[in-house]
Structure 1
């Protein structure tokens, strides 16, 4: 049987090409891009925590249920790879901690379900995959859509930095709230959602490592500079640097790897010479270390020596309670602040393993897709999944699970298209 790769005229696109390259066909493809640019920020949870734009914030909260009918389109084809895992994970994380919380926090089961609203974006695996099967975009259209949103993300960030007055930066805000513009010990910060921006940086860096063309490195550097100077989120900065080092080391020759290892101490010293980056190890109160430490100690004490609590978690109280977990702990108690300890508190070891298995399965699926079609966009998506796992100790995966599941959906979509095209290409 002739390998698929020997037929470039039939494998240049993942979707069936039009019979004629007419202007209308080109318009239809750009229509696909326009639709994706409009809906991808909702699937990527770009507005999920941006209360400064109430309409988009509310739509983002409703989107997991509003888009769910798209999942019905999946019944028209074979069962997607990974569907069973995602469904079991969602059901377990939704039902088991809710049932346990009825006994831990004396709340009704249906009220307790509201505590798991943050998990609804896991369902984007089904709804976004349904949208892809319906639209049948090419991989190039998907990449173009992501990169357009990435560029818009950086442009909007620069415009906010240039136009926002100093009075717009909040110095004091309610515990648990993260305003878009804030001022703290790190200076002025713009908490811009960077999901698409980071994928754009990974894409440019991958293109540079592949072709060694300096303009791709320049674009990646510009994106990193904006994140470093304006967003000032330590987890993002450290994650980007770590991913750049990993990819450079993998792509380098043996001699270059020796040079990279020799330069590593100087790079680490330069990075941590920046005060706000070095503050990741700070125990100063200005960086809320005392709050996180107290929360961790209280969470461990609450779990106690009960093996079932460590295995299955104790659930969490519904957000309908205005005081939240502070009612039980007499302290600012936010599970997201203590990352994996918070996951163990709420879901236990079983739930934590299920959560970690989502990006791990997505990483494996993207790797399979890259084996069929080694594209820099797919490599960037794979980088983001690894990045999410690496920084999960600083930014919990439960904050934005939709970011991970739509990547998983893209990988399944690419795999399904290549497999359906294989018989045609081998005729």
Structure 2
């Protein structure tokens, strides 16, 4: 494999040489799969099936890590995965009378956590530079935004489905928000956060335009309320942290008014609505049923009760005689399935990336790494609406990149007062 060269005396991962197209094409081909872009797009059957199978298919790549010292975060991720896989599986045997091998299939959604190891192995094989990783993410973000804009412009209205089978999410749907296209925004949002950082620090209108376009696509085409809340939360937090004291005071005064105005118009006004069309009544009943089932038994609250596998003849809807999806009640659903201890493990999985980035940033200043950090913050902000167990591969890929940059950048033994400024590499 071709290795990047550097003339700056730094590790090759920080090289600013032109991107190697062989590495770039590999990243463009594989990143959407590791980033779970197609994980819930069942209408694209081949890519959907490949995305579901990839955690197992890519697992042999872990052997590539055998000749290396243990990477940062490895121990926590292994212990976390083992706990989240085994404890709720045993709990389901007790509380739902599932067989162990059936109940363990309910945790297939957690398999992308293992992308930390398989994607890390891929990075060690390709040896991309930080600039090449940045290029891959940004190009994919631009491509997905372009595809969404084109589809929005050309797809006829009768393609949008107003009703669909429970548990399925059509690519084109229509509800109280109007026509919307369901799409993973992993790469476009990282692009948005990247552009916001560049626009803020470089005062560059081109990057500001990128922020506007990415936000407009999310707001007007994808129309996911939680995404809008998460984006606004990250941008406001960053603006507050980066501003001067006087500007912070102005932001404290203006931000609440701006948010109130935004979330009082159109479909965003239904974010906190209790109207039946928003599904509030269904979630309320689900919360009551879940808390009643957990009861006053501290063991159920502490370790969880597991869930019924989709491979079983019955499901939670049949068991509770009500529309019952754990994802609808977010963190309570996580506590229901994994217990308070499991919820803390899942929370720490996200927080470890945030904490490790702080350590990484003390050695490397880079806007792309900062945008990955922003996405981890975004996941936590929207976790009240979408549980992080739905797409754990997104976080696993980010943590793998952090670990790769740390090790490939030879930062283990770098002087504590050294700092690499990689904030303005050549932009694709």
Q: Which residue of 2 aligns with 1:88?
A: 79
8 Å contact from structure 1 (residues 15, 136) kept in 2: no
Aligned equivalent of 1:410, options 370, 376, 401: 401
Aligned equivalent of 1:272? 263
What do residues 148-178 of structure 1 show as CA deviations (whole Å, max 9, x unaligned)? 1000110110111112111111100112221
| Larger fraction in helix | 1
The residue aligned with 1:130 is: 121
Cα 1:89/1:217, change in 2 over 3 Å:
same
Matched with 1:171 is 162
Q: Deviations over 1:318-365 (max 9, x none)?
A: 101354101210011100011001000000001000001111001112
- Long gaps (5+) in structure 2: 1-5, 420-428
- Name the structure 2 match of 1:223: 214
The alpha carbon displacement at 1:368 in A equals 1.8
Q: CA deviation at 1:52?
A: 1.1
2:133 aligned partner: 142
Shift of 1:192: 1.1
- Partner residue in 2 for 1:376: 367
Q: Name the CA distance, whole Å, in 2 between partners of 1:116 and 1:344.
A: 14
Task: Between 80-89 and 173-182, report the one with greater CA deviation.
Answer: 173-182
Report the CA distance shift for 1:255/1:112 in structure 2 as closer, same or farther (over 3 A).
Answer: same
C-alpha distance in 2, partners of 1:211/1:396? 35
CA distance in 2, matches of 1:97, 1:288: 27
Deviations 1:201-255 (A, max 9, x none): 0000011111121221111111101100011101000110111111111111111
The Cα of 1:422 is off from its aligned counterpart by 5.9
Match of 1:387 in 2: 378
| Aligned position for 2:229 | 238
1:366 matched to 2:365: no
- Does structure 2 retain, via aligned residues, the 8 Å contact 1:13–1:139? no
Q: What corresponds to 1:161 in structure 2?
A: 152
- Structure-2 residue corresponding to 1:72: 63
Q: Secondary structure at the match of 1:189?
A: strand
CA contact (8 A) 1:179 1:191 kept: yes
1:423 Cα shift? 6.9
2:406–2:412 CA contact under 8 A, matched in 1? no
Q: What secondary structure does 1:183 align onto?
A: strand
Q: How many residues align?
A: 412
Q: 1:94-116: per-residue Cα shift (whole Å, max 9, x none)?
A: 11110110111111111111100
Would the alpha carbon gap of residues 15 and 378 (structure 1) be closer, same or farther in structure 2, given more than 3 Å must change? Answer: closer
SS of residue in 2 equivalent to 1:281: coil
**Aligned partners of 2:11 and 2:178: how far apart in 1?**
48
Query: Is residue 2:185 matched to residue 1:186?
Result: no
Find the aligned partners of 1:334 and 1:124 in 2 and give their Cα distance: 26
* 1:398 equivalent in alignment to 2:397: no
Change (3 A) 1:299 1:157: same
Aligned to 1:109: 100
Structure 2: distance between partners of 1:423 and 1:288: 53
- Structure 1 unaligned regions, length at least 5: 1-6
1:30 aligned partner: 21
CA-CA distance at 1:258 after TM superposition: 1.5
Deviates most, 118-127 or 175-184? 175-184
**Distance in 1 of aligned mates of 2:185 and 2:169:** 15
The CA deviation at 1:419 is 2.0
Q: How far, CA to CA, are the matches of 1:161 and 1:269 in structure 2?
A: 28
- CA-based RMSD of the aligned residues comes to 1.9
Does 2:49 correspond to 1:58?
Answer: yes
Which residue of structure 2 lines up, in the alignment, with residue 4 of structure 1? none
For residue 133 of structure 1, report the CA deviation from its aligned partner.
Answer: 1.1
Q: How does 1:186-335 map to 2 (within 5 A)?
A: 186-321=177-312, 323-335=314-326
Cα deviation 1:53-84 (Å, max 9, x = unaligned): 00000000000010111111111111011111
When the two structures are superposed, what TM-score results if normalisation uses the length of structure 1?
A: 0.93
Q: Deviations over 1:121-164 (max 9, x none)?
A: 00000000111111111000000000010001101101111121
Is 1:41 paired with 2:40?
no
1:8 CA displacement: 7.9
